[in-house]
Structure 1
Amino acid sequence: MKKILNLFLCFTFFSCISFAEERPTLRKMIAQMIMVGFNGSSLNDTMSVVSDAKYQRFGGVIVFGKNISTKDNLKKITSALKSAQSGIFIAIDEEGGNVTRFKDKKGFNTFISASEVAKTLDLNGANELYKKMAKQLKDLGINLNFAPVVDLLNTNSPIIASKNRAFSKNIDEVSLYANEFLDAFSEVGVLTTLKHFPGHGSAKTDSHIEKTVIENFDYSELKPYYDAIKRDKSKLIMISHVYLLDRDTQFPASMSNDIIGNLLRKDLKFDGVVISDDMLMGGLNGFSMTQKVVNFINAGGDILLFSEFMIGERRTSEYITQVIVDAINSKKIKKERIEESYDRIIKLKSELK
């Protein structure tokens, strides 16, 4: 009897190990690497995205102003998405100032810009303001914010400085205020994103629209990333589409192994989740979708962000999943690279509250 019991316990033990190590299908792992925008601002209008979430065709969504009508409607949408897929990322760009999805929406609080925060509030005041910002997002069912911006304030910038999105022209101040942002959101239980790596503040053109080149990048602009990574406060970093000519003349940061794989992962020792800026931005013009996707993943990127639910007549998630599957089948991407990203994403999702 004792021998039989021991055999049973042994079998159970190894069965548990096997179950714990079992992975989802390749397509399900790839799906976790895709985040999409969607249409509609009521639950009735968003049933297609809820359905796709249920069938795990993507791992996250991004909320835009077009998705927001009332608090009640937004809460119904986020609640339905969470019920459809446990651990789904529901993200938003909520920086304050010009970059908010709640502008001109009734019933929502809005907040001052990063520039105004640094000019008018001390660090304690900034922390209190960002707690209020985080609480509003959490109450709405949003669990991931694409902020803070840690780009350096440079008056030549048409997309950062002109919109008051940077804290300061002093990189130490940028790091200090960003730290308060990270702490405030962490206390409330909403994930944050440092952006736009390696730095968009000195870029003289807008990567939303066109190819954006930085000829003489000042590497002191990496300090906020270094500080946050060193303190283990950086969980997710967004990669920009800027070109750093002294690092890579062929590819922008979001497609560059030298910038993601070497500068961010090896030099700064970041082992968290890397997300792209919107892959449909003009800064990537000239590259095919396959080139963009394959290079981002091979460089060490984890989540591909797409602002649109559809690309042409195909659902973005379906299209991008097939691009990645085809790349694996043609040996342009190793399956192990997908597994690495999947593991990083699932680890981050385990911190969702």
Structure 2
Amino acid sequence: MGPRRIRLIGLVLAVATVAVIALLGSRTTTSGHPVAERSASTPPTTTTSTTTTITSEPSRSAEPVSDCAEVIDGLSTRQRLAQLLMVGVDPSSADSATKVAGEEGIGGIFLGGNDTTLLTGDRLAGVRKAAKVPLAVSVDEEGGRVQRVDDLDGDVPSARVMARSMTVAQVHKLARDRGTALHKRGVTVDFAPVVDVTSQPDDDVIGDRSFSADPQVVSKYAGAFAQGLAESGVLPVIKHFPGHGHADGDSHQAAVTTPRLADLQKVDLVPYRRLLRTTRVAVMVGHMAVPGLTNGVPATLSPATYKLLRSEFGFDDLAITDDLGGMQAISGRYPLPKAVLTSLAAGADIAFWSSGEQFVPEVLDTLESAAEDGTLPAPRITDALTRVLRAKGACGS
């Protein structure tokens, strides 16, 4: 066989090999789900890898989903507004949560306190079944002094202890394991990790809830924690934007003020600059007044806060308020319905309060009136609702 013929046969074989590889490759897909899309009865897929590389976003479902406009068109104005609320419910039974989710159509519930009854025995299944739109279920599970399931699933150290005693890879695994446990119990949202930067004493308002006084350390460890939660099927909520670590007091107790925005840019906002580019998270906005930004009002109620988040940081996912009903920085100055309306009109996607469902009818009445007279414009409602529905896997991508 001559050299020319050999070369020709080799070329044919090479082309055929490439074609086979391409065909096989075209049949191999990676399917996943949005963070809040899996049902609690379906355990999330986990990996044994300790790699802490942060992905740009969780993998998306390969299954077709409805367009958000289609879902929104199927809801009344009151139902649309209800989806923009996260309400604290009695965690001792399913009654409170079922009423809020079923009768009122509230988009999310929060389980606070030490009672974990609703997180056992698949009690949340009936609550989810009562909801017309997929229900978000949230907790505060940071570790340390802010935990909700430690009696059920074991203790998790504080953020400060994690950063001092664990590697980034270990924190990533810890968060993924904890998220998996939360997800199996029906939780879809965790108000963690804290990305505030501070050297406060451990028992101060932020204190040991912060990973470090070094924004680079906070970025690495909070990023690993957030990614671990996201991989488990739980949406991480980083907090408290634009930074509570150097505020002059405790927003649970009184109105507080941070250093000027220019100073926050150098330290407190550094973790956001990294994390909002590298992983899919929600952001909780805090109640601090920020000189040079909010003109004396709490950040949660200031349009300038959300403009900063959307424009400078390019953030187009969920913005959630800190507790509007249980923190004196807000509740000491604003009635709850007004605080909820003002935060949503300013740019929040979800208005959160922990103080109970008894306020839901009054809040929804206030929001409906505002929608009718244009105080809460229709485009603002649609914008927020679209983000909420996408985060819950109810539509869009």
Distance 1:324 1:41, change over 3 A: same
Aligned equivalents of 2:394, 2:100: Cα separation in 1: 23
Aligned equivalents of 1:115, 1:18: Cα separation in 2: 43
Equivalent position of 2:335 in the other structure: 288
Distance 1:112 1:196, change over 3 A: same
Q: Which amino acid in 2 is paired with 1:41? A: S
- Choose the corresponding residue for 1:271, options 308, 316, 327: 316
Q: CA deviation at 1:175?
A: 0.5
Aligned equivalents of 1:200, 1:147: Cα separation in 2: 14
Q: Is the 8 A contact 2:119 2:186 kept in 1?
A: no
Q: Secondary structure at the match of 1:346?
A: helix
Deviations 1:210-246 (A, max 9, x none): 0011133421311221212212x13311000000022
Identity %, equivalent residues? 26
Matches within 5 A, 1:249-328: 249-260=295-306, 262-280=307-325, 281-284=327-330, 285-310=332-357, 315-328=358-371
Aligned equivalents of 1:18, 1:288: Cα separation in 2: 32
Q: CA deviation at 1:204?
A: 2.6
Deviations 1:109-151 (A, max 9, x none): 1100100110001111111111221121112111110000000
Aligned equivalents of 1:147, 1:246: Cα separation in 2: 27
Equivalent position of 1:183 in the other structure: 227
Distance 1:203 1:19, change over 3 A: closer
Q: CA deviation at 1:290?
A: 4.4
Q: Is the 8 A contact 2:206 2:245 kept in 1?
A: yes
Q: Is the 8 A contact 1:208 1:282 kept in 2?
A: yes
Equivalent position of 1:87 in the other structure: 134
Aligned equivalents of 2:381, 2:69: Cα separation in 1: 20
Q: Is the 8 A contact 1:197 1:237 kept in 2?
A: yes
Aligned equivalents of 1:227, 1:245: Cα separation in 2: 23
Matches within 5 A, 1:184-199: 184-199=228-243
Equivalent position of 2:376 in the other structure: 333
Aligned equivalents of 1:301, 1:73: Cα separation in 2: 28
Aligned residues: 322
Equivalent position of 1:171 in the other structure: 215
Structure scoring higher RCO (CA < 8 A, sep ≥ 6) equals: 2
Q: Secondary structure at the match of 1:133?
A: helix
Aligned equivalents of 2:155, 2:345: Cα separation in 1: 39
Q: Is the 8 A contact 1:193 1:234 kept in 2?
A: no
Q: Which amino acid in 1 is paired with 2:166? A: L
Deviates more, 1:206-215 or 1:290-299: 290-299
Q: Secondary structure at the match of 2:375?
A: coil
Distance 1:21 1:166, change over 3 A: closer
Q: Which amino acid in 2 is paired with 1:301? A: A
Q: Does 1:31 align with 2:82?
A: yes
Q: Secondary structure at the match of 2:183?
A: helix
Matches within 5 A, 1:71-150: 74-85=120-131, 86-103=133-150, 105=151, 107-150=152-195
Q: CA deviation at 1:19?
A: 5.5
Q: Does 1:61 align with 2:104?
A: no
Q: What value does the CA root-mean-square deviation take over the aligned residues?
A: 2.3
Q: CA deviation at 1:329?
A: 2.3
- Choose the corresponding residue for 1:52, options 67, 76, 100: 100
Aligned equivalents of 1:17, 1:108: Cα separation in 2: 36
Q: CA deviation at 1:168?
A: 0.7
Q: Secondary structure at the match of 1:212?
A: coil
Give TM-score, length-normalised by structure 2: 0.76
Q: CA deviation at 1:66?
A: 4.3
Aligned equivalents of 1:292, 1:196: Cα separation in 2: 18
Distance 1:87 1:19, change over 3 A: closer
Q: Secondary structure at the match of 2:352?
A: strand
Report the structure number with the largest CA radius of gyration: 2
Q: Is the 8 A contact 1:89 1:143 kept in 2?
A: yes
Aligned equivalents of 2:309, 2:91: Cα separation in 1: 36
Q: Does 1:242 align with 2:288?
A: yes
Equivalent position of 1:343 in the other structure: 386
Equivalent position of 1:6 in the other structure: none
Q: Is the 8 A contact 1:158 1:204 kept in 2?
A: no
